[in-house]
Structure 1
């Protein structure tokens, strides 16, 4: 799997990677398959995001090739945690397939601003 050149840290579990660019540290880019097996890797990156003071945490899901209910619920849980801290989650680049997963798992609030 090719690594983007702007990635200072990367967590790799099977077919899932996350990347945080030094030029946009408030944006987490997800690539590959977000499922039950890769949620722990996502959680580690989300924990890092919680330790920063960004008012808005952006997650770019445009690179996901698959997302199951575990992945959708992990993102929804992160959104709830951010809200309790007065912060926001912004999910970006969700295609029709991923929007359908969010609808079916009742996590469509991930697509709402805020």
Structure 2
């Protein structure tokens, strides 16, 4: 059986908060999985979402679109962590870095800074 193109690991570090750690490819085929996972968490009462992109190997326009959809559908903030230099550059060039809160660099550093590690 082939490995999934995208894996999503969900944890809930605090009430109303969820962390989604993504690994693999965030593209046309997998973006709907991420949107559905975020929608489920929102229905379960999570208003703040952290999306760790540290293990993403590919992110295309559909992946970026999924992040925008999650942002627009939300009732609270989303924060992107673990963005690679290439992905951060893509977010900067498209203007999405200004719309989506990004913590450029490793999620471990973001955890340490926020005290959630």
Q: Does the pair score TM above 0.5?
A: yes
Secondary structure class of the residue paired with 2:90? helix
What CA RMSD, in Å, does the superposition of the two structures yield over aligned residues? 2.6
C-alpha spacing 1:111/1:96, structure 2 compared with 1 (3 Å): farther
Partner in structure 1 of residue 59 of structure 2: 67
The CA distance in 1 between the partners of 2:29 and 2:61, in whole Å, is: 12
The alignment of Structure 1 onto Structure 2 pairs a total of residues equal to: 100
For normalisation by structure 1, the TM-score amounts to: 0.73
The residue aligned with 1:5 is: none
Q: Could you state the TM-score of these two structures normalised by the residue count of structure 2?
A: 0.71
Q: More helix per residue: 1 or 2?
A: 2
**CA–CA separation in structure 2 for the residues paired with 1:72 and 1:96:** 15
Give the match for residue 19 of structure 1. Answer: 9
Instruction: Kindly indicate whether the alpha-carbon contact (under 8 Å) linking 2:81 and 2:102 is maintained by their aligned counterparts in 1.
Output: no
Q: Is residue 98 of structure 1 aligned with residue 90 of structure 2?
A: no
For 1:35-114, list aligned pairs within 5 A. Answer: 35-82=27-74, 85=75, 87-108=76-97, 109-112=99-102
Listed as ranges, the gaps of 5+ residues in structure 1 are 2-12
Cα distance in 2 for partners of 1:35, 1:59 equals 15
What's the CA shift for 1:32?
A: 0.5
Post-superposition offset of 1:101:
2.0
